[in-house]
Amino acid sequence: MDTVTIIPITGSEIIIYFIHIFIYNSTIMLHTIRNIIQNHSHLLLLYFLYAVGILYILALICFKIHSPFWFHQPVYHSYELYPRIRFSKQPYVKNKRPPRQGIFCDTKHIITSSVSDITPECWAKIVHLLQGHYMDGNYVLNHISVPMIQKRLYGESYVSCFWEDRLVEMPKGKWIEQLDVENLYGFLGSCPKVLHFSKFPKEQWNILQWNWMCIHEKYKSQKLIQKMIQTHVLQHRLKDPGFSGVHLFSKNSELCKGIVPLVKYSIYTFILRDTTIHKLPRNYSIRCLNRNHLDLWRAIYVQMMAQYEVAALPDIAYTLDWLTNERYHIYVTVYRIENVEHVHGVYVFEDTCMSWEDASLTKPYMVRLAASMNFGKVHMHDPRQILYFRGFVNCLQEFLLDKKDFGILEIPCISDNDILLAKWQEKYEMRNVTESAYYLYNMVYPRSPIPSSEVIVL
């Protein structure tokens, strides 16, 4: 009988043995996968495309559930791929056809009219609604007046008003529904502007900018603002068929969901305190623009269009009225070198017609630095832009000499305001910050969102 000899195997040999098996099986598996890929590559590509398509459809469904209103609007949606892969980055209109009445339209209760057709009685009701519901009345008081609104809704501006139904008794005991034009519950105004793109000088679009999207507290839970927007767009296009349909609007605090903004920025608010102000050099002077500075303002207007990537400005014919009607208070710093004057800083102040409900403030009214411009960007004698900031402080002081009730300053971080903010925050305590953004309606600018320092809106 044969004898079987058992040879002992060490632990390291067992590990080596299993490693060899793993390598052998892995090699066979890789060869198999390679053969499958070589023989069925077209099927794998097809499956991949199917998977991408399904995921994209699921993303669209999620967006529609997440933001049902904006999903149906011609805006730059965050899920859109075409603007990102498009070779040309110039702006384009999304929907060139006239709009159709959609599910959010309410042409029965929302009436759109040109500002020239608004009666004094209707203006009074608009002011009453804005004073009570445009901002949170617990913290801010609105001192809006009819002349102030009419300065902002100039030329071919349009307004939409929402009225309720009421039952009116007719002869023979019949009752019918009529609009109750005694009580206004919603308001939206839009004013004409020209949209300039400095990277595409030939692209100049006549647009409308929405102002004062205001809803009565009674209707805020019913999403009336969506109906106001859709109906305003529809009825304006019907009244003005030649209009491009492009609009510009802003949103504060709660930004729009699923939309790529044209620009996103922050708004900073400060309480003004008495501090030491450094005077400007002797070769500097300050000018508050008026009717005597028409040529200077035209040069500034042209520079704004060229200096910023996107500029939304009224036609220059409308802006000439700013020099007398105090829609904006425009200050300029000018320096002289060898008997030649050069513009350095342009500072545009705006009366917000708002005051804070704060008993501790002796000067509760708010002024806004709507925009500023470091004219031409480069000034060899001011490389650190100290004089540009000092010019702002001196212009603000001159403005406050005539407006003694203003003690709150609001600075949106847009245009060249970011340069001033960096230095201003070193001296003054910031009260709060609000996130904000501008959006385009019915237009896509593929370069969006662009830096806030490359945008000016007046």
Pairing state of beta strands 310-313 and 455-457?
parallel
Whether residue 59 is found in the same domain as residue 110: no
Structure tokens at 360: 């501790």
pLDDT for 394 equals 93
pLDDT for 405 equals 84
d(CA 160, CA 158): 7
Rounded percentage of the chain residues whose pLDDT exceeds 90: 36
pLDDT at 51 over 80: no
Whether residue 274 is found in the same domain as residue 415: yes
Candidate from 10-24, 73-87, 260-274 with smallest mean pLDDT: 10-24
Whether residue 435 is found in the same domain as residue 343: yes
Q: Is residue 308 part of a domain?
A: yes
Give the CATH number for residue 197.
3.40.630.30
Domain that holds residue 186: 98-168+175-245
Please compute, for residue 88, the number of CA atoms within 13 A of its CA located in the half-sphere on the CB side: 5
The H-assigned helical ranges of 110-216 are 120-133, 146-152
How confident is the model over 311-368, as pLDDT tens digits? 999 999 999 999 888 889 999 999 998 888 899 999 999 998 888 877 778 888 999 9
d(CA 191, CA 155): 8
Does residue 388 or residue 403 have the better pLDDT? 388
Rounded percentage of the chain residues whose pLDDT exceeds 70: 81
Q: Is residue 75 part of a domain?
A: no
Q: Is residue 83 part of a domain?
A: no
Whether residue 340 is found in the same domain as residue 390: yes
Mean pLDDT calculated for residue range 262-286: 89
Whether residue 241 is found in the same domain as residue 274: no
pLDDT at 5 over 60: no
pLDDT at 406 over 70: yes
Cα–Cα–Cα angle for 309, 313, 319, rounded to 5 degrees: 140
pLDDT for 50 equals 59
Give CA separation, 433 vs 114, 133, 152, 171, 445, in Å. Answer: 36, 21, 25, 59, 27
Residue closest to 217 by CA, chosen among 290, 332, 134, 156:
134
Q: Is residue 45 part of a domain?
A: yes
Whether residue 27 is found in the same domain as residue 61: yes
Whether residue 195 is found in the same domain as residue 152: yes
Whether residue 400 is found in the same domain as residue 441: yes
d(CA 17, CA 3): 26
- Return the number of other C-beta atoms located less than 10 Å from residue 84's C-beta: 8
Whether residue 132 is found in the same domain as residue 57: no
Please count the structural domains in the chain: 3
pTM score, whole prediction: 0.83
pLDDT at 168 over 80: no
- The rounded mean pLDDT for the chain is 83
How confident is the model over 203-257, as pLDDT tens digits? 889 999 998 888 888 887 767 888 888 889 889 888 888 888 899 999 888 888 8
Mean pLDDT calculated for residue range 62-85: 76
Asked if 265 contacts 224 with a C-beta cutoff of 8 angstroms, the reply is no
Q: Is residue 256 part of a domain?
A: no
Residue closest to 195 by CA, chosen among 84, 311, 96, 341:
311
E strands, 155-203, are 158-169, 175-197
Q: Is residue 396 part of a domain?
A: yes
The model's confidence at residue 171, banded by pLDDT at 50, 70 and 90, is: low
Whether residue 294 is found in the same domain as residue 376: yes
Instruction: Output the furthest CA–CA distance in the chain (Å, rounded).
Output: 128
pLDDT at 453 over 90: yes
Quick one: CA torsion of 359, 361, 365, 368, rounded to 10 degrees?
Answer: -130
Whether residue 126 is found in the same domain as residue 192: yes
Q: Is residue 135 part of a domain?
A: yes
- Return the number of other C-beta atoms located less than 10 Å from residue 285's C-beta: 12
Whether residue 109 is found in the same domain as residue 39: no
Residue closest to 163 by CA, chosen among 236, 212, 112, 209:
112
Given 43, 66, 89, the domain boundary residue is: 66
The contacts of residue 234 (CB under 8 Å, 6+ apart) are: 99, 100, 101, 102, 105, 107
pLDDT at 17 over 60: no
Asked if 192 contacts 156 with a C-beta cutoff of 8 angstroms, the reply is yes
Q: Is residue 82 part of a domain?
A: no
Structure tokens at 457: 């809106």
